[in-house]
Amino acid sequence: MYGGVIIGQNAGFGKFSNNDKKEDRLNEEKKQEDLECDMGQMDLQKKMDLRIRALEGLVNNSGVIAFLRRPKEDAPLEFISRGIETFGYKVEDFTSGKVTFKNLIHPDDADRAFLELTENALEGAGEHVQTYRIRTKKDHVRVVEERISIMRDENGKVIFYQGVLEDVTDRK
């Protein structure tokens, strides 16, 4: 006892019993069960759709622009993340073919960028990294680093370029 106040384990004030801790843990487990979805009961297509949505969310919040495109320069993109909106474009501009990837690249850099990528792909490379300028929708110039993985079929022909663009203007 100290100054009329009981100090120690027997004080009872602020003391939790093992039963209180166990009850708290059970309540937390119950909250977790209520929160989680039982994916074991879903069909494969629904699981795949959820995973795709989750990956798109991850990419869209990553700070880079992810894309999937065919090797043909003027082909519409198969996928481009919402990060492209930071440059004033809409996703649909690229997936519809209204704007091509070559339109995005600054005219003074476009031929070089496509030639380097094509040469590397023909040489059998699996990856390619390059830096070039792009034009925003408002015609401002930004510098991006492009990192590409070259996807091939069983015969070694290029199916897709999958990659990311990162704005590195402030680093230059």
CATH code: domain of residue 150: 3.30.450.20
User: Alpha-carbon distance 82 to 107, whole Å?
Assistant: 23
The SS3 of residue 48 is: helix
pLDDT score, position 75 = 87
Q: Do 168 and 145 meet the contact criterion of CB atoms below 8 Å apart?
A: yes
Q: Please state the domain count of the chain.
A: 1
- Identify the segments of the chain with pLDDT beneath 50: 1-2, 4-13
In this structure, is residue 41 part of a structural domain? Answer: no
- pTM, 2 dp: 0.68
In this structure, is residue 114 part of a structural domain? Answer: yes
pLDDT score, position 26 = 60
In this structure, is residue 15 part of a structural domain? Answer: no
In this structure, is residue 126 part of a structural domain? Answer: yes
In this structure, is residue 3 part of a structural domain? Answer: no
Q: Do 159 and 152 meet the contact criterion of CB atoms below 8 Å apart?
A: yes
- Phi and psi torsions of 43, nearest 5°: -75, 165
Cα separation of the two ends of the chain? 69
In this structure, is residue 55 part of a structural domain? Answer: no
Q: Which domain holds residue 130?
A: 63-171
Q: In Å, what is the CA distance from 162 to each residue of 23, 44, 171?
A: 50, 25, 24
The model's pLDDT over 26-45, given as tens digits with 9 standing for 90+, comes to 666 656 566 566 666 678 88
In this structure, is residue 69 part of a structural domain? Answer: yes
- Residue 56 class from Cβ within 10 Å (0-12 exposed, 13-18 middle, 19+ buried)? middle
pLDDT score, position 37 = 63
In this structure, is residue 19 part of a structural domain? Answer: no
